[in-house]
Chains A and B, each alone.
Chain A
Amino acid sequence: MSMRVKPTDVVIVGMGGTGAIAAMALTEAGLDVVGLEAGPWRSTAEFGMDEIRNDVRNAMGPKFNAELPTSRATARDAAVQVPGVGMVNAVGGTTVHYTAFSWRMMEWNFRARTETIRRYGRAATGDADGYELRDWAVDYHDLEDYYDRVEYLLGVSGRAANVRGQQRDPLGNPFEAERRRGYPLPPLRSYGFGERCAAAARSLGWHPFRGPAAIHSEDFQGVAGSACQYCGFCGNNGCHTNAKAGTFLNAVPRAQATGNLTLRTGVRVTRVETDRDGRATGVTYVQDGMEHFQPAAMVILAAYIYENVRLLLLSTSKAFPRGLANNHDQVGRGYMSHGYLNVNGVFGERVNLFGPTGQYIWLDDWDSDNFDHTGLGFVGGGGMYSLNEVKPIGASRTLPPNVPGWGAEYKRWLARNAMSVGGMFVMVEDVAHADNRLDLDPSVKDATGVPVLRITFEPKDQEKRRLAFLERKARALVQEMGGESLWSSFFFPAINGHAYGGARMGEDPETSVADGYGITHEVPNLAVLGGALMPTSAGRNPTQTLQAMAWRTADHLVDTWSSRAA
Chain B
Amino acid sequence: MVLPAALLEACGSTATPQQVQSLLGLPVKPVSLDARQARAVRAVVGRLIPSDATGPGAEEAMVWRYIDLALSRDLKQLKPLYTANLAALDALAVKRHGRAFAALAAGRQDAILRDLEAGRADGFTPDAATFFATVLEHTREGMFGDPYWGGNAGFAGWDLIGFPGLNMVTPQAYTELGARPPLPHRSVTQFNGMFMVTLPTGRHLGPSAAMAAKDMGGM
Interface status of A279 (Cβ within 8 A of chain B)? no
**A229 and B168 contact, CB distance less than 8 A:** yes
The verdict on A192 contacting B212 (CB below 8 Å), with A240-B168, A355-B170, A406-B136 known, is no
CB distance from A259 to the nearest CB of B (A): 14
The A interface, classified by DSSP as helix, strand, loop or mixed, is loop
- Pick from B85-93, B122-130, B178-186 the stretch touching chain A: B178-186
Q: How far is the CA of A396 from the CA of B113 in the complex (A)?
A: 19
Residues of chain A contacted by B219 (CB below 8 angstroms)? 41, 263, 265
The verdict on A407 contacting B48 (CB below 8 Å), with A91-B218, A350-B177, A353-B175 known, is yes
Residues of chain B contacted by A355 (CB below 8 angstroms)? 170, 175
- Pick from A101-109, A110-118, A168-176, A408-416 the stretch touching chain B: A408-416
Q: How far is the CA of A415 from the CA of B177 in the complex (A)?
A: 17
Q: How far is the CA of A229 from the CA of B47 in the complex (A)?
A: 39
- Pick from A43-51, A121-129, A469-477 the stretch touching chain B: A43-51
The verdict on A45 contacting B206 (CB below 8 Å), with A191-B172, A193-B177, A231-B168 known, is yes
The verdict on A397 contacting B212 (CB below 8 Å), with A240-B168, A408-B50 known, is no
CB distance from A263 to the nearest CB of B (A): 7
Residues of chain B contacted by A57 (CB below 8 angstroms)? 74
Give the residues from 236 to 269 in chain A that come closer than 8 angstroms, CB to CB, to chain B.
240-242, 248, 253, 256, 263, 265
Interface status of A52 (Cβ within 8 A of chain B)? yes
**B1 and A392 contact, CB distance less than 8 A:** no
**B175 and A225 contact, CB distance less than 8 A:** no
CB distance from A53 to the nearest CB of B (A): 8
Residues of chain B contacted by A419 (CB below 8 angstroms)? 161-163
The verdict on A192 contacting B175 (CB below 8 Å), with A46-B196, A350-B162 known, is yes
Q: How far is the CA of A410 from the CA of B54 in the complex (A)?
A: 11
Residue B163 contacts which of A231, A253, A392, A412 (CB distance < 8 angstroms)?
A392
**A351 and B188 contact, CB distance less than 8 A:** no
**B2 and A241 contact, CB distance less than 8 A:** yes
Give the residues from 211 to 229 in chain A that come closer than 8 angstroms, CB to CB, to chain B.
223-227, 229
Q: What string of 1s and 0s marks CB contacts (under 8 Å) between A412-430 and chain B?
A: 1011001100000000000
Q: How far is the CA of A411 from the CA of B149 in the complex (A)?
A: 21
The verdict on A352 contacting B177 (CB below 8 Å), with A226-B1, A230-B170 known, is yes
**B1 and A229 contact, CB distance less than 8 A:** no
Interface status of A277 (Cβ within 8 A of chain B)? no
Interface status of A189 (Cβ within 8 A of chain B)? yes
- Pick from B13-21, B29-37, B140-148 the stretch touching chain A: B140-148
Interface status of A349 (Cβ within 8 A of chain B)? yes
Q: How far is the CA of A352 from the CA of B197 in the complex (A)?
A: 27
Interface status of A196 (Cβ within 8 A of chain B)? yes
Q: How far is the CA of A56 from the CA of B146 in the complex (A)?
A: 12
Q: How far is the CA of A408 from the CA of B206 in the complex (A)?
A: 39
Give the residues from 302 to 360 in chain A that come closer than 8 angstroms, CB to CB, to chain B.
347, 349-355
Residues of chain B contacted by A393 (CB below 8 angstroms)? 140-141, 144-145
**B172 and A50 contact, CB distance less than 8 A:** no
Residues of chain B contacted by A418 (CB below 8 angstroms)? 161-163
Q: How far is the CA of A412 from the CA of B53 in the complex (A)?
A: 9
Residue A392 contacts which of B144, B149, B216 (CB distance < 8 angstroms)?
B144
Residues of chain A contacted by B180 (CB below 8 angstroms)? 350
Interface status of A61 (Cβ within 8 A of chain B)? no
Residue B175 contacts which of A49, A50, A354 (CB distance < 8 angstroms)?
A354
**B217 and A256 contact, CB distance less than 8 A:** yes
Interface status of A395 (Cβ within 8 A of chain B)? yes
Interface status of B49 (Cβ within 8 A of chain A)? yes
The verdict on A411 contacting B110 (CB below 8 Å), with A50-B188, A350-B178, A354-B164 known, is no
Q: What string of 1s and 0s marks CB contacts (under 8 Å) between B207-219 and chain A?
A: 1010111011111
Q: Which residue of A lies closest to B163 (CB)?
A: A392
Interface status of A451 (Cβ within 8 A of chain B)? no
CB distance from B176 to the nearest CB of A (A): 4
Interface status of A497 (Cβ within 8 A of chain B)? no
Interface status of A271 (Cβ within 8 A of chain B)? no
**A50 and B144 contact, CB distance less than 8 A:** no
Interface status of A40 (Cβ within 8 A of chain B)? yes
Q: Which residue of A lies closest to B143 (CB)?
A: A396
Interface status of A42 (Cβ within 8 A of chain B)? yes
**A52 and B141 contact, CB distance less than 8 A:** yes
Residues of chain A contacted by B161 (CB below 8 angstroms)? 392, 395-396, 414-415, 418-419
Residues of chain A contacted by B48 (CB below 8 angstroms)? 406-407
Residue B140 contacts which of A41, A233, A256, A397 (CB distance < 8 angstroms)?
A397
Interface status of A278 (Cβ within 8 A of chain B)? no
Q: Find the residue from B177, B195, B207, B209 having the highest chain A CB count within 10 A.
A: B177
CB distance from B126 to the nearest CB of A (A): 13
Q: Which residue of B lies closest to A249 (CB)?
A: B216
Interface residues of B (CB under 8 A from A): 1-4, 7, 47-50, 52, 54-55, 57, 74, 110, 113, 117, 136, 139-141, 143-146, 149, 157-158, 160-164, 166-170, 172, 174-181, 188, 191, 194-197, 206-207, 209, 211-213, 215-219
Can you pick out 10 interface pairs between chain A and chain B where the beta carbons lie within 8 Å of each other? A223-B1, A225-B1, A230-B175, A242-B1, A349-B178, A350-B178, A392-B158, A405-B136, A406-B49, A407-B48
Closest 9 CB pairs of A and B: A41-B218, A43-B212, A48-B195, A418-B161, A192-B177, A392-B144, A45-B212, A230-B170, A48-B188
